[in-house]
């Protein structure tokens, strides 16, 4: 497994069996779309997310029937479960009783002190962290009045206000998000937050848009932060099937060498020299390697002109050659394969390599 290094120093916080922060891997999260009290649908959705590589899943908890469903959901899934609660401390207590692994709630919005204390006490007793979710769109009135409009400074001030409430109760298992739908604002807020405190940061550009535009916005913003070593867990917010969020998050982490044990694809942009149906082959191989848990680089090239040279970068690859393909391993030609069986042959070699990595 490749070591993830160069992270900014943050406090390690346990979320179920995982640790977020410290020098640990950046964790991929997503959120379900099903009504949480529809246990069957929520569990099925979580299983699909798990399969796609989601490591922590969040569910909305808008009412008591959702909070009551937590215990049933928790029993049927394998990854840590987070509940998203706004204001109502009773929902937090019920979800904690149901075995949830983390709650997202802003202590400053819970209301009376004794209610905050009750939630913190239950979280402490059950070793559950609290995520403070600062959102540019819902900053406290006093902060908005002070700054006039949502600013990065105002967002940090809001985070510090919620952090202080928890710290006063001797609670430090805190994770913080600083979301905004404006990319520049979100980046600035996260940068300032990373300077202001050392709690792990949950990255996200909120309401970023459709699968296409949201992928670009999220990658642009989160890319800047990840490159600087900021961010310990990510959620890509898309108006799309949440499985797509996981795929984008994983690919983003792979781009920065932050996903241990993930396979990556190198595929050529195609040109007039193309000898095979490169685009569909690349898509099929890309889909296949999503589930491969080994740091393998796979290349798919449209022709053999630059094939051996370009394929050197990859552990395994294929270059098109008039109705057939040259199969490469570490830049050396293994054999020629007909176009019809090319993808199957490549998949077999990928599996072999993955197996070899497992044995190491």
Residue ranges for the binding site for [4Fe-4S] cluster? 268, 271, 303, 310
Binding-site residue numbers are: 268, 271, 303, 310
In whole angstroms, the minimum distance from the beta carbon of 270 to ligand SF4 comes to 5
To ligand SF4, the closest distance from the beta carbon of 276 in angstroms equals 9
Cβ partners under 8 Å of residue 40, min gap 6: none
**DSSP symbols for 90-118:** HHHHHHHHTT-SEEE--GGGS-SHHHHHH
For residues 175 and 301, which CB has a smaller minimum distance to ligand SF4 in the complex?
Answer: 301
Footprint (CB under 6 A) of ligand SF4, residues 28-57: none
What is the nearest approach in angstroms of ligand SF4 to the Cβ of residue 332?
18
Indicate the residue among 8 and 270 with the shorter CB distance to ligand SF4.
270
Region near ligand SF4 per CB under 6 A, out of 24-32, 54-62, 264-272, 288-296: 264-272
What gap in Å lies between CA 257 and CA 25, rounded to an integer?
10
- By beta-carbon proximity to ligand SF4, the closer residue of 216 and 305 is 305
Interface residue with ligand SF4, options 227, 273, 312, 322 (CB under 6 A): 273
- Are 104 and 133 in contact, with CB atoms under 8 Å apart? yes
Among 169, 274, 333, 334, binds ligand SF4 (CB under 6 A): 274
By the 10 Å C-beta count (0-12 exposed, 13-18 middle, 19+ buried), 287 is classed as exposed
User: Under DSSP, is residue 311 helix (H, G, I), strand (E, B) or coil?
Assistant: helix
Q: Residue 73 in 3-state DSSP?
A: helix
- Enumerate residues 293-332 that contact ligand SF4 by CB under 6 A: 301-303, 305-306
Between residues 295 and 320, which has the closer beta carbon with respect to ligand SF4?
Answer: 320
266 near ligand SF4, judged by CB under 6 A: no
Q: Which is nearer to ligand SF4, 184 or 280 (CB)?
A: 280
- Decide if residue 271 touches ligand SF4 (CB under 6 A): yes
Please measure the distance between the N-terminal and C-terminal CA atoms of the chain and give it in whole angstroms: 10
Query: Rg for the chain (alpha carbons), in Å?
Result: 23
| Torsional class of 54: left (φ above 0), alpha (ψ -120 to 50), beta (otherwise) | beta
List, in sequence order, the alpha helices (H) in the chain. 39-52, 64-75, 89-97, 113-125, 141-147, 152-168, 183-196, 211-227, 242-255, 278-289, 307-311, 339-359
Q: Binding to ligand SF4 by residue 269, rule CB under 6 A?
A: yes
**Which residues lie near ligand SF4 (CB under 6 A)?**
268-271, 273-274, 301-303, 305-306
């Amino acid at each position: 497994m490749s070591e993830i290094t160069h992270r900014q120093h943050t406090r390690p916080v346990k979320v179920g069996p995982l640790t977020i922060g410290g020098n640990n891997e950046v964790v991929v999260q997503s959120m379900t779309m099903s009504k949480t009290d529809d246990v069957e649908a929520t569990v099925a959705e979580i299983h699909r997310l798990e399969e796609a590589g989601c490591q922590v899943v969040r569910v909305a908890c808008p009412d008591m029937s959702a909070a009551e469903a937590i215990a049933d959901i928790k029993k049927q899934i394998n990854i840590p479960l987070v509940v998203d609660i706004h204001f109502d401390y009773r929902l937090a207590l019920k979800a904690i009783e149901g075995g949830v692994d983390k709650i997202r709630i802003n202590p400053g919005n819970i209301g009376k002190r004794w209610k905050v204390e009750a939630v913190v006490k239950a979280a402490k007793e059950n070793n559950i962290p609290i995520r403070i979710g600062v959102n540019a769109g819902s900053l406290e009135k006093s902060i908005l009045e002070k700054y006039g409009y949502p600013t990065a400074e105002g967002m940090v001030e809001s985070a510090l206000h919620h952090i202080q409430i928890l710290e006063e109760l001797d609670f430090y298992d805190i994770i913080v998000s600083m979301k905004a739908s404006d990319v520049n604002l979100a980046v600035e807020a996260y940068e300032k937050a990373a300077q202001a405190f050392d709690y792990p940061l949950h990255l996200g550009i909120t309401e970023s848009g459709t699968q296409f535009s949201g992928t670009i916005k999220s990658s642009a913003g989160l890319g800047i932060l990840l490159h600087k070593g900021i961010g310990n867990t990510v959620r890509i917010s898309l108006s799309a099937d949440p499985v797509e969020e996981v795929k984008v998050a994983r690919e983003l982490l792979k781009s920065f060498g932050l996903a241990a044990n993930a396979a990556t694809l190198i595929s050529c942009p195609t040109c007039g020299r193309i000898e095979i149906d490169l685009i569909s082959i690349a898509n099929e191989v890309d889909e296949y390697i999503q589930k491969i848990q080994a740091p393998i680089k796979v290349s798919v090239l449209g022709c053999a002109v630059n094939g051996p040279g370009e394929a050197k970068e990859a552990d395994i690859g294929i270059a098109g050659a008039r109705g057939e393909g040259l199969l490469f391993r570490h830049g050396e030609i293994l054999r020629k394969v007909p176009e019809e069986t090319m993808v199957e042959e490549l998949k077999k070699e990928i599996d072999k390599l993955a197996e070899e990595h497992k044995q190491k």
